[in-house]
Structure formats: structure tokens, C-alpha cells
């Protein structure tokens, strides 16, 4: 594992709510039936067609979602597909990360849902297109499968009168105190976290993966600022920190997502110190 294992950015190439149809089985269990393939044309000229409705709460503005999709030109040629890359893509809805066609066409989808979005040029790549990929003024068709919806906890508040500073100029606010011992060098810890750029944009979050992050403290598996912060926390603690650039990704930045010389903010929940493995394991 490297320092960049902390960084799993939101990477992307591109960029009417449907009613549930349910029926009761003989055992009393609610099951979901496929949607009828009926076109709905929105006021903007966007056309959507639900193929499967999915289950659970519908996606809303601000939610993150993982999706597989295939994009077709008007002549039926595929110009992009997450299936070709072998993994779904994650976006945030409502913040301009995706095409207007997606901003209008994805709301209302549910986990497991499948929808066709037909985008007029003005909601896609307009009169310019993308050279050698998408012709000008082309109407695009997207087949979208919403894999899952992720909701990140709201950013915790850092009031000026509560902020403390370490000797290395890491700023922090303790929102909830933990208990027990602080981790020692080499111990493996488990945390949940969200990372923010200075403008408040999320660049990484364990909540997006719905999987807490674990690493060994003090041996260079994460950025230096994290080693310093976690070494001073106890299980159960919740802390917001602002880490100077020189203790984060420095003058090089990271992955085209974090600019050079950028201080980073993290909201961190320290879950546990994992028990040491016996030599027989």
C-alpha cells in the first residue's frame, strides 16, 4: 500500500422521477416489477425511458452514485462505455460533474435501476462536439445502470474559536472525544473519513466505497499529516483537521485531482485499533 492509497478520486470521462410499481407476492413480500418502456419527454427536450425501476430511495441532488453506462452516437456507434473499462464510475449529482442531460435525466433513479437517456445536442456537447469522437449537433443516447447511491455525512463545522494547532501547524477541532489508548507505531487502525479541497469539494471518502479504511500507523502508508493526526487520536474520536500542503501531497499534488501546494481538510472518525495478528495466523 502506498500513500496514494488514501486517495481514491472521482474520475470521469463524460460529462422525471418514475413511480414505483409494486405487487404483493403470495407470501406477503413486496416485489418490484420492471418499468414499462414508455418515453417521457421533459420540458428541456430530454427523453427518458425506464427499463427497470430499481429499489430503495431515489437519488437526490448532492448524492453520489456509482453507475455503469454506454454512450451511443445518433448513428448507433458506441463512443464511450464504462463496461469497456471494467468498473463503474462515481459522480456527484447536482454539482456540474456530469452533462446537463445527466443532471436532468438521472434524478429519480434508484439502486438497480436502468434508464435510457436521449440527449439533444444542447444538453450534451452542442455545436462543437468533441473532435474525432462526437460530431457537432449530435443527439446522444445513454444507457445508464445505477449501481448504488452513496450519501456522505455533511461536513462538520470548524468554528474559529474551537480550532487548535499542533506544532506542525495542523489545525483541528475535536467533535467527539474517544477513549482508550492512542495507537502505537505499526498498529493497524480503522477509520471513516471524507477529504475536502479548500473550496469544499469532496475529493475522496470512505463512505463512497461503503467500506472503512484501515492502515498501519507511522510507517508511511498514508500522508505524513495523517500519521501525525491519527497518532494523537483514540478510538471513538471524531475530529476535523486541516493539513498543510507540505504534510499532504506537497508541490506535486496528486492524480490530477489535488493541485500542487494545496492544504487538505478531513473529517475523520476513528473506529478502532485492530488486534495484533498472532504469528500462527
Q: What is the 3-state secondary structure (H, E, C) of the chain?
A: CCHHHHCCCCCCCCCCCCCCCEEECCCCCEEECCCCCCEEECCCCCEEEEEECCECCCCCCCCEEEEEEEEECCCCCEEEEHHHHCCCEEEECCCCCCCHHHHHHCCCCCECCEEEEEECHHHCCCCCCECCCECCCCCEEEEEEEEEEECCCCCCCCCHHHCEECCCCCEEEEEECCCCCCCCCCCEEEEEEEEECCCCCEEEECCCCCCCEEEECCCCCCCHHHHHHHHCCCCCCEEEEEECHHHCCCCCCECCCECCCCCEEEEEEEEEECCCCCCCC
| Confidence check: pLDDT of 9 > 50 | no
- Asked if domains 22-150 and 153-273 share a fold, the reply is yes
**pLDDT of amino acid 38:** 64
**pLDDT of amino acid 279:** 45
CATH 3.10.50.40 fits 22-150, yes or no: yes
Span 134-165, pLDDT tens digits: 999 999 999 999 999 888 888 999 999 999 99
Give the right CATH number for 153-273 from 3.10.50.40, 3.40.50.300, 3.10.310.10, 3.30.200.20: 3.10.50.40
pTM over 0.75: no
**pLDDT of amino acid 18:** 32
| Confidence check: pLDDT of 185 > 80 | yes
| Residue 35 binned pLDDT confidence (cut-offs 50, 70, 90) | low
Span 53-112, pLDDT tens digits: 899 889 988 888 999 999 999 999 999 999 998 888 888 898 888 999 999 999 999 999
Instruction: Give 242 or 153, the one with higher predicted confidence.
Output: 242
| Range in 28-32, 50-54, 209-213, 231-235 with the lowest mean pLDDT | 28-32
Domain boundaries, the chain: 22-150, 153-273
Amino acid at each position: 500500500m502506498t500513500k496514494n492509497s488514501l486517495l481514491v478520486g472521482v474520475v470521469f470521462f463524460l460529462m422525471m422521477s418514475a413511480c414505483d410499481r409494486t405487487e404483493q407476492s403470495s407470501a406477503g413480500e413486496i416485489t418490484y416489477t420492471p418499468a414499462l418502456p414508455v418515453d417521457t419527454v421533459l420540458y428541456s427536450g430530454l427523453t427518458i425511458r425506464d427499463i427497470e425501476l430499481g429499489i430503495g430511495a431515489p437519488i437526490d441532488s448532492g448524492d453520489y452514485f456509482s453507475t455503469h453506462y454506454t454512450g451511443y452516437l445518433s448513428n448507433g456507434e458506441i463512443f464511450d462505455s464504462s463496461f469497456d473499462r471494467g468498473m463503474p464510475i462515481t459522480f456527484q449529482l447536482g454539482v456540474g460533474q456530469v452533462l446537463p442531460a445527466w443532471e436532468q435525466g438521472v434524478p429519480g433513479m434508484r439502486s438497480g435501476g436502468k434508464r435510457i437517456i436521449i440527449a439533444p445536442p444542447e444538453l450534451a456537447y452542442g455545436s462543437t462536439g468533441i473532435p474525432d469522437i462526437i460530431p457537432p449537433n449530435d443527439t446522444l443516447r445513454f444507457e445508464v445502470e445505477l449501481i448504488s447511491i452513496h450519501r456522505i455525512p455533511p461536513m462538520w463545522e470548524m468554528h474559529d474559536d474551537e480550532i487548535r494547532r499542533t506544532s506542525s501547524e495542523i489545525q483541528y477541532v475535536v467533535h467527539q472525544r474517544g477513549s482508550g489508548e492512542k495507537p502505537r507505531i505499526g498498529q493497524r487502525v480503522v477509520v471513516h473519513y471524507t477529504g475536502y479541497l479548500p473550496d469544499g469539494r469532496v475529493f475522496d471518502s470512505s463512505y463512497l466505497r461503503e467500506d472503512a479504511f484501515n492502515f498501519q500507523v507511522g510507517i508511511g502508508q498514508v500522508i505524513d499529516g495523517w500519521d501525525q493526526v491519527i497518532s494523537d487520536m483514540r478510538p471513538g474520536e471524531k475530529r476535523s483537521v486541516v493539513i498543510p500542503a507540505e504534510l499532504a501531497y506537497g508541490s506535486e499534488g496528486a492524480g490530477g485531482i489535488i493541485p500542487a501546494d494545496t492544504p487538505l481538510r478531513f473529517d475523520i472518525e476513528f473506529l478502532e485499533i485492530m488486534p495484533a495478528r498472532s504469528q500462527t495466523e
